[in-house]
Amino acid sequence: MSPDSANNKAVFPAQGQRELRKGNCHYCGYLCGFDVAVEDGRVCDLAPDPTRYPYDVSVASRCRRWRMNLDDIDAPDRLNYPLRRVGERGSGQFERVSWDEALDDIARRLQALRQTHGGRTLASAIGGPHATFWPLHRFLNQFGTPNNMGIGQICWDPRIWMDAVTFGWPTEPDLCDHTGVMMLWATNPAVSDNSLFWAQIKAKHEAGMPLVVVDPRKTATARLADVHLAPWPGTDAFLALALLNIIIEEDLYDHGFVESWCLGFEGLRAHVAPYTAEVAERETGVPAESIRRAARLFATKGPGLLLSGRGIDQLGPNTEPTVRSLCLLRAVTGNVDRPGSCVVNTRSDFCQEADLERPDLFASELRAQQMNTTPLQSYAGYQLVNAHAQRFGCTLPERYLTSAHPGQVLNAMVTSDPYPVRALMVMGANPVLTYANTKLVLRALESLDLCVVADYWLTPTAQLADYVLPVAGGLERPSCQIHGGVANIAYGGAAAIAPLYERRTDFEILRGLALRLGFEDAWPHTSLEAEYNALFAPVGMSFEQFAEQGLYAPPITYFKHVQPGSDGEPRGFATPSGKVELASSLLEQLGGTAYPQPVPAACARADLAQGKLVLLTGARSQPFWASSYFYNESFRASHPYPLLGMAPETAQALGLAEGDWVRVYNAQGEAVFKLTFEDMPLGVASAEYGWWLPEQKPGAPSYSGALVSNINMLTSNELENCETLIGTWTYNGIEVGIENASCPAEFATV
Ligand SMILES: Nc1nc2c(c(=O)[nH]1)N[C@H]1C(S)=C(S)[C@@H](COP(=O)(O)OP(=O)(O)OC[C@H]3O[C@@H](n4cnc5c(=O)[nH]c(N)nc54)[C@H](O)[C@@H]3O)O[C@H]1N2
Ligand SMILES: Nc1nc2c(c(=O)[nH]1)N[C@H]1C(S)=C(S)[C@@H](COP(=O)(O)OP(=O)(O)OC[C@H]3O[C@@H](n4cnc5c(=O)[nH]c(N)nc54)[C@H](O)[C@@H]3O)O[C@H]1N2
Ligand code: SF4
Ligand SMILES: [Mo]
């Protein structure tokens, strides 16, 4: 069975009663289209659909996950029926119940908790972009709680917020024929991006496009680079400000764009004056000459595409100044809404995510009660920034960008301070592995009155639940990703089959609860398909029509700021000044600084003599994804151990050898890894994240091996150590010690 791109048809062996349907993979955010062979309502084969977005031979051949769509659907450990806890909380013992029993009881208990403590007593936890979160957000708005936790503060939100305050609205990289130079900052698409993107970067590079990569590790992406800058973790803001300094001082900036469209250039010139290449060399460890080379390449070979990733979204206090400096680099080089650089997004033609969330149902006085004291990532910050976007008819998605601070919410579960949080709904997340401070997560989950987890598997987090609800997988549900609600793009497709066993979609679960709580008004559509029909109604399209191509993406328009607005004048940018704000008036209003102000990294430099190392966590590896796919035996065989990388010289200084088991520890906790050599600065180490062992016994005390090699045992999200505007905590650049350890029993048989 193989995709036959010559005649654009999937080729399956001839079979009797098989029907060919379309479906979408959900094992990463791209939702690739598949041709699915179905017999008696069951999937019996599948192949990438060469007619639908984002098909390319390179995706199908590089991605190791798509076959799982077949393997997982009837996997013995997949959740098929609602489960209710029977033993102690965390015992991992459950009994099968009917959906009515489960939803009736959950609704009854939620109602009782709401009567005692108010709606705010319910929190939610979400994770990465697998799932559709607007149904949850609509439910929370109705229930009356502001305490939705997410991972936005350390994934995506820093970029969205900094784009919005600088350019008025989020932007998107525009890799195309026009792109003249590319700078990839703290992202490793060679490993983290299964889509076409990496193949496109390689092809462009082979055709002569220079590539600059900024990453402490010499990643597969960095190995391709013409210039690789390897700063000490967390020192990137100094590097970015030095690039700005060089570009301005060497007169390499885009005079036309700066003069017509940027606010605060002379102030920026003065602000970056002290950040010379030599100062940056001292702060970052990157040779001044390499910094100059990178600055000249990016400023002179444009259009330049500058894309940043998770590495700098997770730098604690240095996240805001770093991410914002990169916005300024794009601005002064004129790489804004210009073909080949980045596109300023526009509002969607179809319903906006914000409207699906129904913020109108949420009482405004509850917003002030949110466990969130950060001025930008909060309802107040959202309202301030969004008011400007709305001049262009755009509304930013609300709940993700205003999500509560997990450090505070988890703490309130344990202490009831500032008020009791007694119930939690977890959807599309595995906080025991992926949230900071695992010990706090465990204490918080153990202390709840009601914990409901919806997932495909009995994850370590689900093992602590009162109810575990089985979710319909990719092929069993219609899908439509609307890019977090910040762009005019939608992709997805129809369900290939109806959900098997008693699985349900997140939408159906939440609607079921909403109806039981008397919230039916906001749920007029009985199915997700009907919701998606309504979503596309403004573009005169049905979901079925959308699903044919599986992509709604009108042609990109560039240079929108020079197009006439309603008054006939160029419409500019959706910022307070109508210009790209090099000096940010919004950040100043929120108590921040107009220009990016780096702070010394909490732990940028190692001291090997004192046994002090600097740790990066969570660098992406294949074929896993966060805490997912560890149940896949062939994946585990190909990647059997949790790895910790460091340079051979660092290992030598610590008396360690490649292949040793090592214990990584700090005041917060410890975890065990196998040592591997990687090219990175002396004294820096990099640990994988997400590791648990689904084959191990569920329930306390070990939760299927979730506490052995869990790097979040060593991370923390206490508010006082977080970035002050967004609340970003630190996953990269934490202080640890590393020493020899014996092989943990859990891995002894591998
Ligand atoms: N130390 C450290 N921690 C990190 C990071 C790091 O780099 N270092 N990275 C952070 C980042 S960027 C992210 S995004 C998070 C990821 O954190 P999570 O999102 O918590 O991690 P996943 O393993 O993707 O967990 C998703 C869970 O949802 C389930 N699931 C998948 N699709 C659906 C669905 O449609 N509905 C429902 N109900 N469940 C579904 C999966 O089976 C899985 O158990 O981790 C963060 N944590
Ligand atoms: N295989 C796989 N793919 C994934 C995921 C996964 O878990 N597995 N997760 C998905 C998710 S949730 C996300 S958010 C994306 C993330 O996608 P990316 O942003 O591409 O994430 P990484 O591949 O970890 O690359 C981040 C890089 O930042 C570097 N870094 C760390 N600290 C610093 C620093 O202080 N400065 C600089 N300059 N660089 C630093 C790390 O060395 C790492 O190479 O990947 C997605 N794709
Ligand atoms: S790239 Fe992502 S969506 Fe596409 S087949 Fe691979 S895991 Fe599935
Ligand atoms: Mo993420």
Question: Is the model's pLDDT at 11 over the cut of 60?
Answer: no
Residue pair 517/110 in contact (Cβ under 8 Å)? The answer is yes
Our answer on whether the CB atom of 681 is closer than 6 Å to any ligand 2 atom is no
Return the biggest CA–CA distance within the chain.
75
Closest to 674 in 3D by CA, of 647, 706, 650, 641: 641
Residue that is written with structure tokens 């098909």 in the block: 55
Mean local confidence (pLDDT), 477-496: 93
Q: Which ligand 3 atom is the nearest neighbour of the CA of 63?
A: 6
Question: Which string of b and e fits 198-232 if b means at least 16 CB within 10 Å?
Answer: bbbbbebeeeebbbbbbbbbbbebbebbbbbbbbb
Our answer on whether the CB atom of 268 is closer than 6 Å to any ligand 1 atom is no
Helix axes 288-300, 277-284, angle to 10 degrees: 120
Which SS3 state, helix, strand or coil, does residue 646 take?
Answer: strand
Q: Quick one: pLDDT band at residue 701, thresholds 50, 70, 90?
A: very high
Q: Which ligand 2 atom is the nearest neighbour of the CA of 622?
A: 1
Question: Is the model's pLDDT at 516 over the cut of 80?
Answer: yes
Output the six-digit token pair for 283: 């702060």
Mean local confidence (pLDDT), 431-457: 98
pLDDT score at 130 = 63
Our answer on whether the CB atom of 254 is closer than 6 Å to any ligand 2 atom is no
pLDDT score at 750 = 64
Q: What residue's CA is closest to ligand 1, atom 20? A: 429
- The secondary structure of residue 74, as a DSSP letter, is T
Residue that is written with structure tokens 């990269």 in the block: 732
Beta strand pairing call for 684-687 and 613-617: parallel
For residue 192, the CA-to-ligand 3 centroid distance in Å is 11
Cβ neighbors of 132 (< 8 A, separation 6 or more) are 479, 480, 481, 506, 507
Hey, what amino acid is at 593?
A: T
d(CA 672, CA 666) in angstroms, rounded, equals 12
Which SS3 state, helix, strand or coil, does residue 78 take?
Answer: coil
Residue that is written with structure tokens 């820096």 in the block: 684
Question: Which string of b and e fits 629-665 if b means at least 16 CB within 10 Å?
Answer: bbbbeebbeebebbbbbbbeebbebbebeeebbbbbb
Q: Residue 469: exposed, middle, or buried by beta-carbon count in 10 A (0-12, 13-18, 19+)?
A: buried
95-111, pLDDT tens digit by residue?
999 999 999 999 999 99
For residue 191, the CA-to-ligand 2 centroid distance in Å is 8
Q: Which ligand is nearest to the CA of 33?
A: 3
Write out the residues surrounding ion ligand 4, Cβ under 5 A. Answer: 128, 155
What are the start-end ranges of the E strands in 428-539? Answer: 450-455, 467-470, 479-481, 490-493
> What is the percentage of the chain residues whose pLDDT exceeds 70?
97
Closest to 24 in 3D by CA, of 470, 554, 491: 491
Hey, what amino acid is at 480?
A: C
Mean local confidence (pLDDT), 271-300: 98
For residue 621, the CA-to-ligand 2 centroid distance in Å is 9
pLDDT score at 54 = 64
Our answer on whether the CB atom of 155 is closer than 6 Å to any ligand 2 atom is yes
For residue 258, the CA-to-ligand 2 centroid distance in Å is 32
Our answer on whether the CB atom of 149 is closer than 6 Å to any ligand 1 atom is no
d(CA 25, CA 474) in angstroms, rounded, equals 5
pLDDT score at 458 = 98
- The secondary structure of residue 628, as a DSSP letter, is B
Q: What residue's CA is closest to ligand 2, atom 24? A: 619
Which SS3 state, helix, strand or coil, does residue 492 take?
Answer: strand
Q: What residue's CA is closest to ligand 3, atom 6? A: 63
For residue 596, the CA-to-ligand 1 centroid distance in Å is 30
pLDDT score at 429 = 96
d(CA 144, CA 365) in angstroms, rounded, equals 10
Q: Quick one: pLDDT band at residue 9, thresholds 50, 70, 90?
A: very low
Which SS3 state, helix, strand or coil, does residue 291 take?
Answer: helix
**Ligand 3 pocket, Cβ-based, cut-off 6 angstroms:** 25, 27-28, 30-32, 59, 63, 65-66, 194-195
For residue 293, the CA-to-ligand 2 centroid distance in Å is 25
The pTM score is 0.96
Hey, what amino acid is at 39?
A: E
Residue pair 109/449 in contact (Cβ under 8 Å)? The answer is yes
Backbone angles phi, psi at 51, to 5 degrees: -95, -5
d(CA 274, CA 423) in angstroms, rounded, equals 51
670-688, pLDDT tens digit by residue?
999 999 999 999 999 999 9
Mean local confidence (pLDDT), 421-428: 97
Q: What residue's CA is closest to ligand 3, atom 2? A: 28
627-658, pLDDT tens digit by residue?
999 999 999 999 999 999 999 999 999 999 99
Our answer on whether the CB atom of 127 is closer than 6 Å to any ligand 2 atom is no
For residue 292, the CA-to-ligand 1 centroid distance in Å is 38
For residue 333, the CA-to-ligand 1 centroid distance in Å is 36
Q: What residue's CA is closest to ligand 2, atom 20? A: 187
Q: Residue 401: exposed, middle, or buried by beta-carbon count in 10 A (0-12, 13-18, 19+)?
A: buried
Q: What residue's CA is closest to ligand 2, atom 6? A: 625
Backbone angles phi, psi at 101, to 5 degrees: -60, -45
d(CA 647, CA 659) in angstroms, rounded, equals 13
Pocket test for ligand 2, best of 620, 621, 686, 711 (most atoms within 8 A of CB): 620
d(CA 733, CA 672) in angstroms, rounded, equals 18
Closest to 181 in 3D by CA, of 295, 290, 286: 295
Closest to 211 in 3D by CA, of 227, 200, 230, 229: 227
Cβ neighbors of 373 (< 8 A, separation 6 or more) are 405, 408, 719
Q: Quick one: pLDDT band at residue 749, thresholds 50, 70, 90?
A: confident
Mean local confidence (pLDDT), 581-601: 96
Cβ neighbors of 13 (< 8 A, separation 6 or more) are 1, 45
d(CA 238, CA 218) in angstroms, rounded, equals 20
Residue pair 342/174 in contact (Cβ under 8 Å)? The answer is yes
Q: Which ligand 1 atom is the nearest neighbour of the CA of 477?
A: 35
Backbone angles phi, psi at 212, to 5 degrees: -115, 130
What are the start-end ranges of the E strands in 639-745? Answer: 643-646, 661-665, 670-677, 684-687, 732-741
Torsion from C-alpha of 559, 560, 566, 567, nearest 10 degrees: -30
Our answer on whether the CB atom of 626 is closer than 6 Å to any ligand 1 atom is yes
For residue 189, the CA-to-ligand 2 centroid distance in Å is 8
pLDDT score at 194 = 87
- Give the CA distances from residue 368 to residues 114, 306, 382, 401, 404, in Å, rounded to whole numbers and listed in that order: 18, 36, 13, 15, 11
For residue 422, the CA-to-ligand 4 centroid distance in Å is 27
d(CA 318, CA 253) in angstroms, rounded, equals 25
Our answer on whether the CB atom of 687 is closer than 6 Å to any ligand 1 atom is no
Q: What residue's CA is closest to ligand 3, atom 5? A: 66
Question: Is the model's pLDDT at 403 over the cut of 90?
Answer: yes
For residue 432, the CA-to-ligand 1 centroid distance in Å is 10
Mean local confidence (pLDDT), 10-27: 77
For residue 441, the CA-to-ligand 1 centroid distance in Å is 15
Our answer on whether the CB atom of 463 is closer than 6 Å to any ligand 1 atom is no
Residue pair 592/715 in contact (Cβ under 8 Å)? The answer is no
Sheet holding 479-481, edge to edge: 479-481, 490-493, 551-552
Q: Which ligand 2 atom is the nearest neighbour of the CA of 239?
A: 38
Q: Which ligand 1 atom is the nearest neighbour of the CA of 155?
A: 12
d(CA 452, CA 139) in angstroms, rounded, equals 14
Q: Quick one: pLDDT band at residue 227, thresholds 50, 70, 90?
A: very high
Our answer on whether the CB atom of 625 is closer than 6 Å to any ligand 2 atom is yes
d(CA 68, CA 75) in angstroms, rounded, equals 10
Mean local confidence (pLDDT), 722-744: 97
Residue pair 331/325 in contact (Cβ under 8 Å)? The answer is no
Q: Which ligand 2 atom is the nearest neighbour of the CA of 221?
A: 44
Q: What residue's CA is closest to ligand 1, atom 33? A: 428
Closest to 466 in 3D by CA, of 105, 119, 146: 105
> What is the percentage of the chain residues whose pLDDT exceeds 90?
89
Q: Which ligand is nearest to the CA of 3?
A: 3
Written in H, E and C, the secondary structure of 713-724 is HCCCCCHHHCCC
Our answer on whether the CB atom of 470 is closer than 6 Å to any ligand 1 atom is no
pLDDT score at 2 = 38
How does the average pLDDT of the chain come out, rounded? 94
For 503, left (φ over 0), alpha (ψ -120 to 50), or beta?
A: beta
Closest to 638 in 3D by CA, of 626, 625, 622: 622
Our answer on whether the CB atom of 422 is closer than 6 Å to any ligand 2 atom is no
Mean local confidence (pLDDT), 60-73: 89
Q: Which ligand 3 atom is the nearest neighbour of the CA of 194?
A: 1
Question: Is the model's pLDDT at 1 over the cut of 50?
Answer: no
Q: Which ligand is nearest to the CA of 151?
A: 1
Q: Residue 339: exposed, middle, or buried by beta-carbon count in 10 A (0-12, 13-18, 19+)?
A: middle
Q: Which ligand is nearest to the CA of 671?
A: 1
